[in-house]
Chains A and B, each alone.
Chain A
Amino acid sequence: MVRKIIQIAIITLLSGSLAQAATSQENYNYYCAQCHGLEGKGDGPNATESQPVSPKDHTNTKEMSKLSKDDIIQVIRDGGIATGKSTMMPPWGKTITDAEIQDLINYLRKLCNCKFENEH
């Protein structure tokens, strides 16, 4: 009986934590896709003609494979300015966790169908 209660408690806790955690695709579609588009092509609703820069096309294998994983993490966490790029890429480090940023890196690898610099 006690064992069953513990089992139920564990399942309840797990299902609760699973409901809380956002997947990398959820995070990408909710935050990143605003500018980079739902398919990652750099064509989200914020990619208007009036913007000073165009959002990066995450499906561009050649361009994406020139970037290092550390630089991408830094840009997501601290914004474009962290690597001398545009401030139009905002800092997300206080919005999503480091673990979620790591997950986004994996998601970006899928989108670009590439490995990042020094990962070969």
Chain B
Amino acid sequence: MPTISPPEDRTTHHAAGDRIPSLPPTSLVGRVSTFLYHHPLLLLLLFLIPPLLWLGVIYLGALGALLMQSFFSIDEFSGVINREFTLRTYVELFTPANMDIVLRTVLMAGAVTLASALIAFPIAYYMARYARGRVKALLYLAVMLPLWSSYLVRVYSWKLILAREGILNWAFAKLHLLWLMDAVLALPVVGGTSLSVSYLGTFLVFMYIWMPYMILPIQAALERVPVSLIEAASDLGARPGVAFRTVILPLAFPGVVAGSIFTFSLTLGDYIIPGIIGSSRFFIGQAVYSHQGLAGNIPLAAAFSVVPIVIMAFYLSAAKKLGAFDAL
């Protein structure tokens, strides 16, 4: 066998080999980066410490302080906070009037979540399965566009839409359907003098405002279901309805649960929408707002804000069981 590499080839290799180790000691930056390259854990720590501090001290610390406040009590005469451990505030929380607020909020959050899922699913399904190219981009835009404008502006415009003199009533009148609107408003509890001052109105606006948060996770989950699975179901004899129930829905369900976490928790904590649209009865968020503000009852406000945390803890553990976090 003839030798392949001529001698001059070897000298070039030699020169290159000499130059490489002589690179790093030249500059401080070079030395630091080499040091970090050899200690990847240190680098990771350097990157993580600021966010960990933020999350640990500021966020969890604030939460801890909040929790602590809820175990203090307020002197009803002087309005001075008594910084001693007591469950008095929680006893106050469990009075029927306050429990009404909790129940009202949870029912609203549940109804909003359920209705959002029902409306969002077909939209998400169409986006994931059928829409292509321009139409798909347009649908994305339509779903996301509301998020670009102010939340308050959107809520106030809904007040105008739903008001007695608003465009919705006007449209119903022109269509000679006012009797239908009146019938709906005549419903006990959810009705009222107009949509803008009824639970129904609150419900509609909540649903509108949180809808993108439901559509996007469902759409993402559906997008991940391979077409071949649907074809396989059909190939094995499943009619479209059966294939939907046995294959598509179970695989998209984690996305629905993920979306419901958003809609449920956001409704649970919101205090602006029910303040602008709906009957004047309190939701949890408004109770917190008024107790810590006007009334200066920080302990009760803190106890109130513990309620959504506890509910969400239960909700999340149930969601985890359903595999919601696989879709995030």
Tell me whether A and B are bound partners.
no
Which residues of B are in contact with A by a Cβ distance under 8 Å? Answer: none
